[in-house]
Amino acid sequence: MKKAYEQEIEMWNRVFEECTPVNLRNLDLKVAPMFDEALKLFAEKTTKILDFGCGTGDISFQYLQYQPTHRVLGIDASKTGIRFANKTAKLSNYKTATFLEGGEHTIEQLEENSFDGMILSNVLDVMPKDVSTTVIDDLERVLKLGGYWFIKMNPYYSKEELESFGYKNAGNNIYEEDHIMRLRQATTNYWKEKFTRFGKEIIYLEFEYPWQEGMNRLFVYQS
């Protein structure tokens, strides 16, 4: 299982290697209307956020589009994703954004109660259960009381859909493709029960990504 998770990181390193950094200042970044409005609200309610598993920083940059002076720290295990994000931040003159290569152990080095917002986009459902539990525990420590969670999950797929993607069940609801971890499948109710510890549910919505099959799920909570 651990090897499949490590292979997942290497896969994203290869994918992000193909990305070209650009100046985003003159671009109107959008995902889907409901998602965009939810992120805009999250940006209005927060001033210093941690985007854990940020990849190339897509959501961080959209967040900064709404609030350009707010502070952003992005962390991702993909070195090529982080390289892209830092170059894009520089080209876009986002001086309050910092992106670091790291994983769950990086969170341990952050100060307690140092952020008022957390972004987790397609993160908790693409890692083993024990790792996701550790990540949640550590992120709770660094989030201020009254802070906000902005959590996006992959769609919940049927068995037939997973098979059509070429995903194979590796046990414990984990699905792999060519020995690379791609998804830890869990229902919306499972995640809602998991997230009750965060506090008040502000938003739950389902929306389509232009480049992904199925209905993505967004959870916003206030601690």
Q: What is the pLDDT of residue 3?
A: 61
pTM of the model: 0.93
- From the candidate CATH numbers 3.40.50.20, 3.30.590.20, 3.40.50.150, 3.30.2010.30, the one assigned to the domain spanning 2-222: 3.40.50.150
- What are 4-49's pLDDT values in tens digits? 566 777 877 787 888 899 999 989 999 999 999 999 999 999 999 9
- Asked if pLDDT for residue 1 goes beyond 60, the answer is no
- What are 125-173's pLDDT values in tens digits? 998 888 999 999 999 999 999 999 999 999 999 989 999 999 999 988 9
- Asked if pLDDT for residue 89 goes beyond 90, the answer is yes
How far apart, in whole angstroms, are the C-alpha atoms of residue 15 and residue 145?
37
The residue-averaged pLDDT of 50-79 equals: 97
Concatenate the DSSP letters of all residues of the chain into one string.
-HHHHHHHHHHHHHHHHT------TTS---S-HHHHHHHHHHHHH-SEEEEET-TTTHHHHHHHHH-TTSEEEEEES-HHHHHHHHHHHHHTT-TTEEEEE--HHHHTTSPTT-EEEEEEES-GGGS-HHHHHHHHHHHHHHEEEEEEEEEEE-----HHHHHHTT-EE-STTEEEETTEEEEE---HHHHHHHHGGG-EEEEEEEEEETTEEEEEEEEEEE-
